[in-house]
A and B are shown apart, each in its own frame.
Chain A
Amino acid sequence: MRNRGKLFRAHPTETWLVVVLLIMSAGLSVASDKFFTIANLFNLLNTSSTNLIFAVGLLVVLIAGGIDISFAVAASVVQYVVALALAQMGGGDWFIGLTLAAIVGIALGAVNAGLIYYFQIISIVVTIATFNIFFGLLMFFTHGVSIYNLPAWWTHRTVLFEFQQANGNWAELTLPVAIMAVCVAATWGLIRYTTTGRQLYAFGDNPEGARRLGINIAAMHFIAFGWLGLMAGIAGLVQVHYSQEIVPNALVGRELDVLAAVVLGGARLGGGRGTVLGCILGVFLVSVTQNGLNLLGISPYAFKMIVGAIILIAITLSNAPLGHILAGLRQRMGT
């Protein structure tokens, strides 16, 4: 009981999300016999990997007090550049692909960081501008043409782990899940267990205080946006693996969905707060909602509407006076 009280106090958003997720899952398990199966769990993991990789990248920028609108479009740029470079090289493999994606992604992130740091423009202005620059130039140079002719290793569906269920269906975990796990673990390690990570929190919470403590402000900008660039590059690669094609405008609009999920998970716009666990829960709350609606046979057209309403209600409740009162009550009961 004592431990639980501590947990509630330290991570109110995360506990709240876990409770909501459990209630939803319980409800869905009763409503649909397909929900609580390994196959469906694996399916959920497979489909959310791209978003979760984006999300942990964005989390680092949010913790450092910034915001980025351009990362999803940057991922499209990475996809195109990597595909063209690989065609020049005559194929390549996962290692070369990931390295290229990382370099291009970090470079695009560094563009944002440089503009924000050297010219002291706030991140939302810079990234709205670079969103338009990246997307405009990508569409201009590619004429909106998709690429279908991709190296085999890139699009080949790699199953990491599979087994047959009692009902004969195969449950499969695919490569994106492994990449996602590595990205999530790396981000967790970065922000939780390194000095740099602690500095990112300090910088996001109070930039001037962090500067006076001797934290290298330039490094903070480049690390945060570089990390998001890296994650965006990897997510871009994974998204191509999943969809088997490169469509230049496929990821436009994804940035706002990811942003909503990350902030739902407790990251604060304004910096200094946010955890990887919250981020995962935020992404999963959205994907479990969609998955559940799907299994319940509700029209796909209604998904976004319901997801939007749920996010709005969640924000209202977690910020409303009612939320404060509940949190206070919970604290008192916990101690």
Chain B
Amino acid sequence: MTQRVLETGALRHGFLRRLAGTLGAENIGLFLALILVIAFFGSLSPRFLSKATFESVAFQLPELGLLTLAMLMPIISGGINLAVTFTANLCGLTLAWVLQANGGPDASIYAFLLGSVLAVGVGTASGLVMGPVIAYTGAHPILVSLSVMIFLRGLGEFLTRGADISGFPEFIQPLGHGSIVGIPVPLLILLGAVIVWHVLMTRTRLGFSNYMVGSNIEATRYSGISTRRVIILIYALSGAMCALAGIIMMARFNSVRVGHGESYVLITVLACFLGGVNPFGGFGKVVSVFLALIVLQLLSSGLNLLGASQHLATAIWGIMLIGVMILRWAAGQLNFMRITR
């Protein structure tokens, strides 16, 4: 209902209002955090506000970003997909094998396309294992995706014996390291994915149903929406997004190894929560999560510039999540006091 009101309002007041509607009032905190981070590192190091920082952020953001998008939809549906990183690894492996089977460095573009399609198929299949189990048995998504994660990690290690796979054709390079008119290709891919996800969540029946399933699955079922179908589709889409992440990771590292990006799992959840996604599901915006990702990545790049390790950045990410949650709690308390006065 509010969505409808907002949309008609946006139509009446043109593009700016629509933009404000999309960005939303709940993003003010994130914008403040963004400005704070930029101001803080900008004042500490003159090198922070430079093209180099932009490029480091732009090239590192996509891996984490695409995985976070894969995590986002299940969380909004009231679930979680802990298997994102290993699904991405296995999709990367699929593509790598197709390329290897077709001549390794001499593989043709058709081999790459075939491999990519198969990779997306593998990712979707992983989602299609999780989705029905969650939808039909009512088993807890943490548990289902956890066991799928353990299975996929084992499968990947079994198939590769823990080794790296490398030796890919030249034309894959731009996918991980190239730029188009100054904008890195991986960033463009991430932006595309963000837009697709945003449209999917705000403009389609599936997106709407996803929010409803996350808010109250029983009420949604009684209102005639096939909640099982929604959940299965959501996990399948999540798996497909993992495949995209896997392909980009392969191009970025120029190799595939099971365990690449393993530590990202909990970071993607952190990014979602930081972006205001409700841990119980039902609420959360793609744009906010994207903003949260930028803040996280800027923080990490800034600390890197100051000579601190990634581990310190990880700790500060955790502190930031706690800080944001405490601020939200404080805002809630203030609101409550105002209502009850």
On A, residues with C-beta under 8 Å from B are 67, 69, 115, 119-122, 124-126, 128-133, 135-140, 143, 252-253, 256-257, 259-260, 263, 269-270, 299, 301-309, 311-312, 315-316, 318-321
Give A311 to B269 CA distance when docked, in angstroms: 23
Known: A120-B329, A312-B151. Is A129-B270 also a contact (CB below 8 A)?
A: yes
Closest-by-CB residue of B relative to A304 is B154
Q: Which residues of A contact B321 (CB under 8 A)?
A: 125, 128-129, 132
Q: List 25 A-B contacts (CB under 8 A).
A: A126-B322, A129-B319, A130-B318, A132-B267, A132-B315, A133-B319, A133-B322, A136-B317, A137-B315, A138-B311, A256-B82, A256-B146, A256-B150, A260-B147, A301-B158, A301-B162, A304-B153, A304-B154, A305-B151, A305-B157, A307-B154, A308-B149, A311-B147, A312-B148, A319-B139
Indicate if the CB atoms of B133 and A316 lie closer than 8 Å: yes
- Contacts A115-B322, A263-B140, A269-B142 aside, 8 further interface pairs with beta carbons under 8 A come to A67-B142, A132-B315, A135-B314, A140-B312, A140-B315, A259-B146, A269-B140, A316-B137
* Contact with A306, one of B133, B154, B329 (Cβ below 8 angstroms): B154
Let me know if A308 and B317 touch, CB within 8 A.
no
- The dominant DSSP class at the A interface is helix
* Given A121-B329, A301-B158, A305-B155, CB of A133 within 8 Å of CB of B315: yes
Chain A residues near B154: list those with CB within 8 A: 301-308
Q: Is B35 in contact with chain A by the CB < 8 A criterion?
A: no
Contacts of B308 in A (CB 8 A): 140
Q: Is residue B44 within 8 Å, beta carbon to beta carbon, of the partner chain?
A: no
Known: A131-B318, A132-B317, A301-B157. A125 touches B312 (CB 8 A): no
In the bound complex, do residue A316 and residue B139 qualify as a contact, i.e. CB atoms below 8 Å apart?
A: yes
Smallest CB separation, B283 vs chain A (Å): 14
What are the residues of chain B within 8 A of A260 when measuring CB–CB?
143, 146-147, 150
Chain A residue at smallest Cβ distance from B138: A319
A142 to chain B, nearest CB (A): 9
Q: Which of A124, A125, A131, A321 has the most CB atoms of chain B within a 10 A radius of its CB?
A: A125
Q: Is the pair B153, A308 in contact by a Cβ cutoff of 8 Å?
A: yes
Of A121, A270, A302, which contacts B158 at CB under 8 A? A302
> In this assembly, does B316 line the interface, its C-beta being within 8 Å of a C-beta of chain A?
yes
Q: Are B314 and A269 in contact (CB under 8 A)?
A: no
Closest chain-B Cβ to A46's Cβ sits at a distance in Å of 23
Q: How far is the CB of B3 from chain A (nearest CB, A)?
A: 26
In the bound complex, do residue B150 and residue A315 qualify as a contact, i.e. CB atoms below 8 Å apart?
no
* CB neighbours of B316 from chain A (8 A): 136
**Contact call B150/A308, Cβ cutoff below 8 A:** yes
A308 adjacent to B311 (CB under 8 Å): no
Q: Which residues of A sit under 8 angstroms from B266, Cβ to Cβ?
A: 69, 128, 131-132
* Minimum Cβ distance to chain A for residue B336 (Å): 11
B273 near A: Cβ within 8 Å? yes
User: Which of B150, B319, B325 is in CB contact (< 8 Å) with A311?
Assistant: B150
Contact with A along B297-341 (1 / 0, CB 8 A): 000000000001101111111110110011001000000000000
Chain A residues with CB under 8 Å of B104's CB are none
A136's partner among B150, B280, B315 (CB-CB below 8 A) is B315
Q: Cβ of A120: which chain B residues have Cβ within 8 Å of it?
A: 329
Q: Are B322 and A315 in contact (CB under 8 A)?
A: no
A322 to chain B minimum Cβ distance, whole angstroms, is: 9
Among residues of A, the one whose C-beta sits closest to the C-beta of B266 is A128
* Residue B161 at the chain A interface, CB threshold 8 Å: yes
Residues B158 and A312 in contact, CB atoms below 8 Å apart: no
Q: How far is the CA of A252 from the CA of B309 in the complex (A)?
A: 18
B259 to A, closest residue via Cβ: A253
Assess the A119–B143 pair: CB atoms within 8 A.
no
Instruction: For the complex formed, measure the closest distance between the CB of B226 and the CB atoms of chain A, giving whole angstroms.
Output: 17
- Expressed in whole angstroms, the minimum distance between the Cβ of A50 and any Cβ of chain B is 18
Residues of A with C-beta under 8 A to B326:
119, 121
- Tell whether, in the assembled complex, residue A133 and residue B318 are in contact, meaning their CB atoms are under 8 Å apart: yes
Which residues of the other chain, B, contact A305 by a CB distance below 8 angstroms? 151, 153-155, 157-158
Residues of A contacting B151 in the complex (Cβ-Cβ under 8 angstroms): 304-305, 308-309, 311-312
Contacts A124-B279, A129-B321, A136-B318 given; does A315 touch B147 at CB 8 Å: yes
Q: Does the CB pair B329–A119 fall under 8 Å?
A: yes
| B161: A residues at CB distance < 8 A | 301
- Cα distance, A256 to B80, chains bound together (Å): 14
Min CB gap B161→A, angstroms? 6
